[in-house]
Structure formats: C-alpha cells, structure tokens
Amino acid sequence: MRGWSGYRSCPGADHDDIKAMVQAPGTALRADGRALREKLERNPGLRALLRRHALFQHGQVARIAACNGRHRIDQRLGRWLLMAHDRADGDSFLMTHEVLST
C-alpha cells in the first residue's frame, strides 16, 4: 500500500484509524474521501472493484497474521523483503536498518 488509507471511503465506514507510510521513493496517491464516496454511489462497477480489493487485502492481512504467529523472525523478514521487492520499481530498493528493525 503506497500512501493510501481508504477504509473511511468505503460505504458504511465512518472512521479510519489506519495510517499509511510511503517507505520508498516514488509517487503516493491520496483520494478525497467525500469525492470517492460519491463516485462509489454512482458507479457500481467501481464499487464492486473496490470491494474485491478490500476482500483481497483482508485475506492478505489474515495470511500475514498467521505467518507472524507461526514462523521465525528471519522467515518473516524474508517474506517482508519479498513483498517490498514486489512493490519496488526494480530489483533494488532503498532500505534502512531502522525500517528493517520496525
């Protein structure tokens, strides 16, 4: 997730306590919640797409939680590095020791 926290924009959600942090150089996008809600109300295709995305994210979070409970820290770090690589624009990406320790 690169700089977007949109749960508040989903129909029925009235608050959001999640903060997004961009950890790599690049572009971060932010959508105005009110404008997005209006678009979702008028566009069932967009609403369905966002719901599928939310379900995918929910499944990914559940798998990561299971991984964190079952695997050693070096294995969890390996998963996290592979996920960071998947989101990078190439085969190398900047990573500080501080970010790794978090």
CA-based max dimension of the chain: 46
- For residue range 74-83, list pLDDT tens digits in order: 999 999 889 8
| Predicted local confidence at residue 11, as pLDDT | 54
| pLDDT score for 9 | 52
pLDDT-derived band at 5, boundaries 50, 70, 90: very low
What does the alpha-carbon distance between residue 47 and residue 54 come to, in Å, rounded to a whole number?
A: 10
| Average pLDDT of every residue of the chain | 81
Q: Which residue has the higher pLDDT, 78 or 23?
A: 78
Q: Mean pLDDT over residues 74-97, rounded?
A: 86
Instruction: Give the number of residues written for the chain.
Output: 102
Mean pLDDT across 40-52:
93
Helix (H) or strand (E) holding 17: none
* Residue ranges of domains in the chain: 7-101
39-43, 73-77, 84-88: which range is least confident on average?
84-88
